[in-house]
Chain A
């Protein structure tokens, strides 16, 4: 089955710096890769996603890149702000309607 590895487990940056979180997946059939942000005591919130027919997607300060050959995808946050502090999860799925397989999460801390 699919296995998703996520690094780093913790990331501390200064406000205004960029943050990069990386994930690798094992199943070459996976074709959908969302990123979720989870604040303490809350459910995950979808922040951006990408499908395997696209190499990069951007939404304001957030971007995701996908390398199908290497089976890895990354989340890039630019101009980080304290409110970006949260746990970020990457995930993968290989078929519409199937469950997501999550990475272990990255705790991002943005200090002002």
Chain B
């Protein structure tokens, strides 16, 4: 159990377009999901915390109007990068807390989505 998927696994888009990334918990319900961004050879930087049925909480410096997060169900959270620019190119990874497996704090990560903005 505790499988998290992401779609797409990679995407190439033109500057100015919007890109939607989906994060799904496949075999459990996740009330809380997290979105991270990772640049090459760097650590994971938290972007926002996504709670089902409520507004996401964004980290300082992350533009909420640019990175739209929707956690509409207990198994799906989406991240939309609006008006993407080349500097938004990165590896986006989501994680989800499993309510019953492991410690209450345990997070399981998706495989990531590689975004390249031309």
Contacts and interface: CB of A to CB of B under 8 A. Distances in A.
Given A43-B110, A51-B103, A102 B93 contact: no
Interface string B19-43: 0000000000000101000000011
Name which of A96, A98, A99 has the most chain B CB atoms within 10 A of its CB.
A99
A93 B105 contact: yes
A67 B72 CA distance: 40
Given A99-B34, A104-B43, A41 B112 contact: yes
A44 B97 contact: no
B104 A43 contact: no
21 contacts: A32-B103, A32-B105, A34-B105, A36-B109, A43-B109, A43-B112, A44-B44, A44-B93, A45-B109, A46-B102, A46-B106, A46-B108, A51-B103, A96-B104, A96-B105, A97-B97, A99-B46, A99-B49, A100-B34, A102-B43, A103-B43
Contacts of B32: 97
Interface of A: 32, 34, 36, 41-46, 49, 51, 89, 93, 95-105
B107 interface: yes
B42 A104 contact: yes
A51 B109 CA distance: 19
A42 B38 CA distance: 11
B25 to A, nearest CB: 13
